[in-house]
Structure 1
Amino acid sequence: MKMKKILGITGIALASALVLAACSSSSSSSSKSGKEEVVFATVGTTAPFSYEENGELTGYDIEVAKAVFEGSDKYEVTFKKTEWSSIFTGLDSGKYQMGGNNISYSAERASKYLFSYPIGATPSVLTVLNDSDITSYDQIGGHSTQVVQGTSTATQLEEYNKEHSDNPVTLNYTNENITQILTNLNDGKADFKIFDAPTVNSIIKNQNLSNLKTIELESSEQPYIYFLFADGQDDLQEFVNGRLKELQEDGTLAKLAEQFLGSADYIPTASDMKVPSGD
């Protein structure tokens, strides 16, 4: 009888544990407020888009996201600082629902993730030493640069090398952030760097990289940046895009671009508020 009683108690305890575990699992995507939690992944080391100030994440992408979710009855956003590559693996696994960190469009990304409307424009510049003999994009062959694997710049220069195999660019792959890469360039450890103008201008100013200058690069396309969503987050995408359209119209995007990117010119036009495609 004692053994049956013990087994009975044990069975009840196990059943209770299973119920609690099930409840915990079913509510894991909800915040304490009862709203649906959106975990937003970012790098947090790439000013002016995402960086830490007084221990808190801020930057253009972060503040735009805060404005998007402000006052929402359905969603509550939390920010997670992680490595660049982990943004994408986290979206793949469902660990994160959303990501943003100066992310541009590519067909490869579009095959795996959902895109928001554009949140800003980031035209590229060619950054070189003041005494460099490079004066245009056509002259980068035979010179060296640092790139991060999987970024749009790395892809662009890998394609350049295929087309200019007789005089390719030396690509030195690194995991260093853009601030360190530009510092290395300033110290003469590379010949050039292609990156977006708002970031480069911010770093050159804040880090006093006086040996560097920038050269504007012509492009037939607006180099917009976006938020990404994990596959299946269609409702979240629709909500965010609706709010981004409102923020573009009421001047919030322009105000944040002026504050973080240095110019209100770095925002999308009303006609460009649409999900990008490869067409």
Structure 2
Amino acid sequence: MKKEWKKPIIALLILVLTLGLAACGGAEESKNDSENGNAQGQDVINVGTMGTYNPFSFAAEDGTLTGYDLEVLREIEKVDNSLKFNFVAGPWDSLFVGLDANKFQMLANQITSNPDRVEKYYLTENPYFTCVSQIIVKKGRTDIQSLEDLQGKTIGLTVGDSFTRLVEDWNAENGNILTIKYYEQDIVTILEDIQTGRIDATVNDPIMAKDKAEVQGLEIDVVGERIAADPTYFIFQKNDEGKALRDKVDAALATLLESGRLSELSIEWFGVDYTK
């Protein structure tokens, strides 16, 4: 009689263990689905982006990554439903490293072309935006209107970005008259140092700089003529997989350009068509 009461308990324990193992197996399948694709058979493409580069790439109040660059890719998903993008935020100096290591399969962060990038990576044939380069100074400052005016002063630039390359090339062609202070931090640190007088100016995208300054309560002015206006591209690994992905994204971009949807998106975000 004493052994009879143990049978239901043993059966119950076996049932609990069986269900527990089944639940673990289900969780692993779900994880694999998330990593390798979704229910429609789409491959999930990890896209490296800063997530702090307003208004092109930033986190919304609910934590969702958004911004003009990322919304262009969401429009591309609508054109080609075989594409599914997963946005992964990281600091600027980690993006190309992550692409090289296949942590990302592409980059979206207002990236312009230069010879080094063309040699090492695939870029979309179609640009999706025109990135403007201008001088940014403390509000009310009138003695700086050109790079020549920065002789004897200090300009702050971010290590490794296209604006830095632009200024470095100009400086080399003009007798290295500029004193450059390099930053690894986000441009907010540069704008703060401009306001406090630690440096005199920077060169960057005025749309992004104004947005950052407004959020941080910093007072800046964009001065002088445009130094450059360069198209921006999505960036891919230089291998067969990268080329195939680039070609699919390019085809969808061409559709968005021809339909006028890309122009509409630029106007929605900035009030101006920066796609031309």
Q: Cα offset for 1:48? A: 1.1
Query: In the alignment, residue 52 of structure 1 is paired with which amino acid?
Result: A
- Total equivalences in the alignment: 242
Query: In the alignment, residue 249 of structure 2 is paired with which amino acid?
Result: V
- The range that moved more, 226-235 or 60-69, is 226-235
Of 69, 93, 118, which residue of structure 1 is paired with 2:77? 69
C-alpha distance 135-75 of structure 1, shift in aligned 2 (>3 A): closer
- The range that moved more, 92-101 or 27-36, is 27-36
Q: Determine the C-alpha separation between the residues in 1 that align with 2:222 and 2:206.
A: 11
| Residue matched to 1:91 | 99
Query: In the alignment, residue 34 of structure 1 is paired with which amino acid?
Result: G
Would you say the 8 A contact 2:144–2:223 is kept in 1?
A: no
| Residue matched to 2:64 | 56
C-alpha distance 227-197 of structure 1, shift in aligned 2 (>3 A): same
Q: Which runs of 5+ in 2 are unaligned?
A: 1-30
Q: Highest CA radius of gyration, 1 or 2? A: 2
Q: Determine the C-alpha separation between the residues in 1 that align with 2:248 and 2:101.
A: 22
Would you say the 8 A contact 1:254–1:267 is kept in 2?
A: yes
Cα displacement string for residues 44-66 of structure 1 (whole angstroms, at most 9, x for unaligned residues): 00111101111111111010011
| Residue matched to 2:46 | 39
Q: Cα offset for 1:186? A: 2.3
Query: In the alignment, residue 121 of structure 2 is paired with which amino acid?
Result: Y
Q: Cα offset for 1:161? A: 3.5
Of 114, 117, 127, which residue of structure 2 is paired with 1:106? 114
Q: Secondary structure at the match of 1:136?
A: coil
Of 150, 160, 177, which residue of structure 2 is paired with 1:140? 150
Q: How does 1:255-270 map to 2 (within 5 A)?
A: 255-264=264-273, 266-268=274-276
Query: In the alignment, residue 108 of structure 2 is paired with which amino acid?
Result: G
| Residue matched to 1:272 | none
| Residue matched to 1:274 | none
TM, length-normalised to structure 1: 0.78
Q: Determine the C-alpha separation between the residues in 1 that align with 2:219 and 2:155.
A: 19
Q: Cα offset for 1:35? A: 1.0
Q: Does 2:156 align with 1:149?
A: no
Q: Cα offset for 1:71? A: 5.6
Q: Secondary structure at the match of 2:127?
A: coil
Q: Secondary structure at the match of 1:78?
A: strand
Q: Determine the C-alpha separation between the residues in 2 that align with 1:154 and 1:174.
A: 10
Q: Does 2:138 align with 1:131?
A: no
Q: Cα offset for 1:197? A: 2.7
Would you say the 8 A contact 1:41–1:87 is kept in 2?
A: yes
Q: How does 1:163-174 map to 2 (within 5 A)?
A: 163-165=173-175, 168-174=177-183
Q: Which runs of 5+ in 1 are unaligned?
A: 1-23, 269-279
Cα displacement string for residues 156-208 of structure 1 (whole angstroms, at most 9, x for unaligned residues): 2323333344x622211112212332232123221111112321233344444
Q: Determine the C-alpha separation between the residues in 1 that align with 2:264 and 2:129.
A: 12
| Residue matched to 1:250 | 259
Q: Determine the C-alpha separation between the residues in 2 that align with 1:225 and 1:77.
A: 19
Task: Give the RMSD, CA atoms, in angstroms.
Answer: 2.5
| Residue matched to 2:172 | 162
Would you say the 8 A contact 1:140–1:169 is kept in 2?
A: yes
Q: Determine the C-alpha separation between the residues in 2 that align with 1:72 and 1:169.
A: 47
Of 243, 248, 252, which residue of structure 2 is paired with 1:239? 248
| Residue matched to 2:186 | 177
Would you say the 8 A contact 2:145–2:223 is kept in 1?
A: no
| Residue matched to 2:26 | none
Q: Determine the C-alpha separation between the residues in 1 that align with 2:243 and 2:108.
A: 17
| Residue matched to 1:224 | 231
Q: Determine the C-alpha separation between the residues in 2 that align with 1:177 and 1:30.
A: 33
TM, length-normalised to structure 2: 0.79
Query: In the alignment, residue 132 of structure 2 is paired with which amino acid?
Result: P
Query: In the alignment, residue 87 of structure 1 is paired with which amino acid?
Result: L
